[in-house]
Amino acid sequence: MNLVPRPVPHLPRSFRWGVATAAYQIEGAAAEDGRTPSIWDTYSHTPGNTAGGDTGDTACDHYHRMPEDVALIKGLGVDTYRFSLSWSRLQPHGRGPANPKGVAFYDRLVDELLASGVTPWVTLYHWDLPQELEDAGGWPARDTAYRFADYAALAHDALGDRVAHWTTLNEPWCSAMLGYAYGDQAPGRRDFPAAVRAVHHLLLGHGLAAERVREAAHTRDHPLELGITLNLGTATPEHDTPEDRDACRRADGLGRRVYLDPLVKGVYPQDVVADLAAHHGAELPVRDGDLETISAPLDVLGVNFYRGTLFSGRTEDGALQDERGRPVTRAVERDLPRTAMDWEITPTALTDLLLSLQKEYGVPTVITENGAAFEDTVGADGEVHDADRTAYLADHIDAVAEARAQGADVRGYFAWSLLDNFEWSYGYAKRFGIVRVDYDTQLRTLKDSAKWYRDTIRLTREA
Ligand code: FCB
């Protein structure tokens, strides 16, 4: 474990260093200043959906502590802060006019960041659809894509004079699959064909929003770097057999290619389309012109990486089909160190991923999230000696540098997360922060990993 801060090789001076958060996970003030409920308010307030019944009502109280949090960010010496806008705070009914108090909050945040020398990087949508839009059909309904484009234009209108970095969506796979197919996240529906419609409408929403934001930036002569963030991993066959390779093809198809192929190449992968019809009775509701909209050029691809996965095409009993007669796509557990999420720690998969993205898609990348939850303890000295998290960050930053050395055009790394926060269905039980939050007092304490990150950034810049 390389826990002593040192300069990371192969990273250019322009390499972007950041920390990331998301609105519902940190802001709190859920019912203040005109904000209406999002699907996450409804979902977290429904008994049984989150660990301990936790909700984002207060979270890290960032809405009221924003200047203190920006000071923390500045103190870390990062150049970029990635945060998301709460749609139901900015445009409470999911349509119609902006909420002046919502705009005022993000105005203050952006101004505070700029005054602190930190570049704001805005995510328009990190999973928190206004509930009213879910009631009107949510992402399985095509209209939501148009509502999203209007919201994007409204947000850019408010902040685009000072914010150049815009991400449309965070992890549409999670919105579509966890939200509409598996019910593990808001809105908690379990309807696979609806989830597949959501996939297409999220991508369409991205494309329509990108068009509007690009046009507005161009007309007003504002600088713009626009992208989308996907959660990406690697799929490796357990054995070099046709069935294990086919399991990887399916996992990669629904996890990665069904997003990246239309975004970058303007086509949906035919094997995925065929599998969806054959095995799920599901169809992507594509209309004429949609794929041109979706495939408008991206300036940057945001990559959220947590782990790589080994796949088998057989059940544990060796069968090739599951009980419903579908081919088996089974994640195989390995004897590897794990995080508190029970996720395997696989840094070399990040190098492999970045190199394969470079080869297959060729879009510049930024790691918009990477990090780990561990069972932190506060020592007798009041400090959090999170060597496990520090090692995780160190190994993954090395993996990024290695990918760069081998030719991947990766331009930045943002640690997930600045603060311990509301980890969705896991509530506050899982801590991803490099800064500890005491939820009783809202006291923030830099963990050892935060100090290591700060010193590593400084040493790398100076090298
Ligand atoms: C990602 C989410 C982020 C956080 C991390 C742990 O999927 O984008 O909000 O929950 O996982």
* Strand, coil or helix: 194: helix
Residue 371, in any domain of the structure: yes
Mutational pocket test of ligand 1: of 393, 416, 419, the residue with most ligand atoms within 8 Å of the beta carbon: 416
- H-helix or E-strand containing 378? none
Span 247-260, pLDDT tens digits: 999 999 999 999 99
Establish if 11 belongs to a structural domain: no
Q: How far, in Å, is the centroid of ligand 1 from the Cα of 305?
A: 9
Per-residue pLDDT, averaged over 57-86, amounts to: 99
Residue 405: partners with Cβ closer than 8 Å, 6 or more residues away:
9, 10
| Å from CA of 214 to ligand 1 middle | 27
Nearest CA to ligand 1 atom 9: 22
Confidence at residue 2, expressed as pLDDT on a 0 to 100 scale:
53
Kindly give the distance from the C-alpha atom of residue 228 to the centroid of ligand 1, in angstroms, as a whole number: 15
Ligand 1 neighbours by CB, cut-off 6 Å: 22, 25, 170-171, 174, 231, 304, 369, 416, 423-424, 432
Which contacts qualify for 42-48: CB closer than 8 Å, 24 or more apart?
Answer: 42/131, 42/134, 42/186, 42/187, 43/185, 43/186, 43/187, 43/188, 44/186, 44/422, 46/188
Rounded CA separation 303/367 (Å): 5
- pLDDT tens for 329-372 read 999 999 999 999 999 999 999 999 999 999 999 999 999 999 99
Rounded distance, CA 46 to CA 37, Å?
A: 13
For residue 369, indicate whether it is catalytic.
yes
Catalytic residue among 171, 243, 344, 402: 171
Per the prediction, the chain carries an average pLDDT of: 98
| Average pLDDT over every residue of 53-64 | 98
Looking at the domain assignment, is residue 39 inside a domain? yes
pLDDT in tens, 403-455: 999 999 999 999 999 999 999 999 999 999 999 999 999 999 999 999 999 99
Tell whether the model's pLDDT for residue 201 goes beyond 60: yes
Percent of the chain with pLDDT over 90: 99
Ligand 1 atom closest to 432 (CA): 6
Domain membership flag for residue 10: no
Model confidence at 270: pLDDT above 70:
yes
Whether 267 is in a domain gets the answer: yes
Q: Which residues pair with 408 in a beta bridge?
A: none
pLDDT band at 196 (very low <50, low <70, confident <90, very high): very high
Structural domain count, the chain: 1
Tell me the three state secondary structure of residue 357: helix
Please, which residues bridge with residue 415 across strands? 19
Structural tokens at position 403:
């990918």
pLDDT at 1 over 80: no
Would you say residue 152 lies in a domain? Answer: yes
In a domain, 5, yes or no: no
pLDDT-derived band of residue 3, with 50, 70 and 90 as boundaries?
confident
Task: Give, rounded to a whole angstrom, the gap between the first and last alpha carbons of the chain.
Answer: 21
Q: What is the pTM of this model?
A: 0.98
**Alpha-carbon gap, residue 296 to 276, rounded angstroms:** 25
Q: Give φ, ψ of 321 to 5 degrees.
A: -125, 150
Tokens 């979270």 belong to: 59
How many angstroms separate the CA atoms of 65 and 29, rounded? 11
Q: In angstroms, rounded to a whole number, what is the distance separating the alpha carbons of residues 386 and 389?
A: 5
Q: Residues 285, 347: contact at Cβ < 8 Å? A: no
Q: 134-170: per-residue pLDDT in tens?
A: 999 999 999 999 999 999 999 999 999 999 999 999 9
Domain membership of residue 403 as a residue range? 16-462
Number of C-beta neighbours around residue 220 at 10 A: 12
The DSSP letter of residue 427 is: G
Residue nearest to atom 10 of ligand 1 (CA): 423
- Taking alpha carbons only, the member of 210, 216, 364, 230 closest to residue 299 is 364
Q: Which two tokens stand for residue 421?
A: 């926060």
Count Cα neighbours of 38 within 13 Å in the Cβ-side half-sphere.
Answer: 25
b/e for 328-355, b at 16 or more Cβ within 10 A? bbbebeeeeeebbeeebbbbebbbbbbb
Close Cβ partners of 214 (under 8 Å, ≥ 6 residues apart)? 224, 226, 296
Mutate to test the pocket of ligand 1, among 304, 305, 370, 426 (most ligand atoms within 8 A of CB): 304
Best CA proximity match to 332, nearest among 242, 237, 254, 255: 237
- The pLDDT of residue 300: 98
For 28, what's the count of Cα atoms within 13 Å in the CB-facing half-sphere?
Answer: 13
Digit-coded pLDDT (tens) for 282-340: 999 999 999 999 999 999 999 999 999 999 999 999 999 999 999 999 999 999 999 99
**CA of residue 44 to ligand 1 center, whole Å:** 16
CA distance 177 to 169: 14
Which of ligand 1's atoms lies nearest the C-alpha of 423?
10
Residue 132 is among the residues annotated as catalytic for this protein? no
Amino acid type, 298: L
Distance of alpha carbon 321 from alpha carbon 311, whole angstroms: 14
**Catalytic pick from 134, 238, 243, 369?**
369
Distance CA 134, CA 112 (A): 33
> What distance in angstroms lies between residue 239's CA and the mean position of ligand 1's atoms?
30
- The CATH number of residue 145's host domain is 3.20.20.80
Tokens encoding 361: 């898609």
What are the strands, taking DSSP E only, across 185-253? Answer: 225-231, 235-237
Give dist(CA 71, CA 112) in Å, integer. 9
Whether residue 383 lies inside any domain: the answer is yes
Which DSSP category does 326 fall into? Answer: P
